[in-house]
Structure 1
């Protein structure tokens, strides 16, 4: 995660957390930087880092190994190419399941920006090309659509989805029940991301699961046809909530 605290203040404010392991990367000419914290029973090894990323290897109790990257993209438009060069470099270092999560300081689609200023097509294309080159897939999300808000009033307000989690197919195959939630924060202009990998299979099936839309479904060529077929097959109900719910059930 990104922090605006220096090392001493970070250690002071986080000393009572149930995360005794802490790794901090100080940002040059700034009091803050990046921080990675983890619990005592988590087997994690930091492999390398810069002021824009931390790459770690996680070993599960079963011996299964996967890679985790905390990512912070360059903010200025003229430097965004550095973000994608770094992402591609990290991809060359990783062999096996890989998940990358953080503030990319970029959005993928025009619908991920709400502002009087139009989205920059070139930056969206470059971000998408980088993810495709690294074979990284969006994990989708639950919650409010935008993760960043400049908190300015009226027409000056801008909201964007700058934070996300992506992973390669090997990681998705291993953690097929994963989910990402956009959480509320009263202190930051960013919404925290909560990634749940859902590795405890014993909890599955005990309660009925509600419907959730996964952004990754949009990558499937069959998605539109499947939804169209289910919508037409589900019969009446119209646009009422009951009718819409029945149509959604036919998509399962």
Structure 2
């Protein structure tokens, strides 16, 4: 279990919100009450849960197996609303910052001067977001 916990922390995943059975494994030896454990999981990282808001796991009753079937439900209607870009001053301390800005600014864009500036700033958003995370 310690290795599993270390792995989960390393790759930064967590249990998806769930419905249904609490215990996902059922062991009933003959003549005893048996044991119930939560050993089956559906896990995701923050990017996944942000990208699929409302996604949840449903653990259904046991049937053939001693494990509860797990179904990941992803809502089909999701309206994407882009997050506003925020520049954090600490970005300039990143070793990749100047190179990233230079690459974006050296990009060839045709049009009026203000259009060129806006296009280069838009192109810079994604690399700077990646640098800040």
Answer yes or no: is 1:144 the counterpart of 2:8.
Answer: no
Q: Secondary structure at the match of 1:159?
A: strand
Which structure has the highest strand share of the two? 1
Q: TM-score, normalised by structure 2?
A: 0.53
Q: Which residue of 2 aligns with 1:188?
A: 65
Q: 2:48 aligns with which of 161, 171, 174?
A: 171
Output the CA distance in 2 between the equivalents of 1:137 and 1:188.
25
Q: Secondary structure of the residue that 2:58 maps to in structure 1?
A: strand
Distance 2:76 2:9 in 1: 26
Equivalent in the alignment of 1:154: 32
Give the TM-score taking structure 1 as reference length: 0.29
Corresponding residue number in structure 1 for 2:3: 126
Q: In the TM superposition, what is the alpha-carbon distance from 1:186 to its structure 2 partner? A: 2.0
Question: How many residue pairs align between the two structures?
Answer: 78
Take 1:186 and 1:128, find their aligned partners in 2: how far apart are those partners?
Answer: 29
Q: Which is greater in Rg?
A: 2
Partner residue in 1 for 2:88: none
Q: Structure 1: how far apart are the matches of 2:69 and 2:16?
A: 15
Cα deviation, residue 194, structure 1: 1.0
User: Structure 1 runs of 4+ off > 6 angstroms?
Assistant: none
For the aligned residues, what is the CA RMSD? 1.8
Larger relative contact order (CA 8 Å, sep ≥ 6): 2
Q: Unmatched 5+ residue regions in structure 2?
A: 80-133
Structure 1 residue 126: deviation in Å?
2.3
Q: Deviations over 1:66-89 (max 9, x none)?
A: xxxxxxxxxxxxxxxxxxxxxxxx
Task: Please tell me whether the aligned partners of residues 175 and 199 of structure 1 are also in contact (alpha carbons under 8 angstroms).
Answer: no
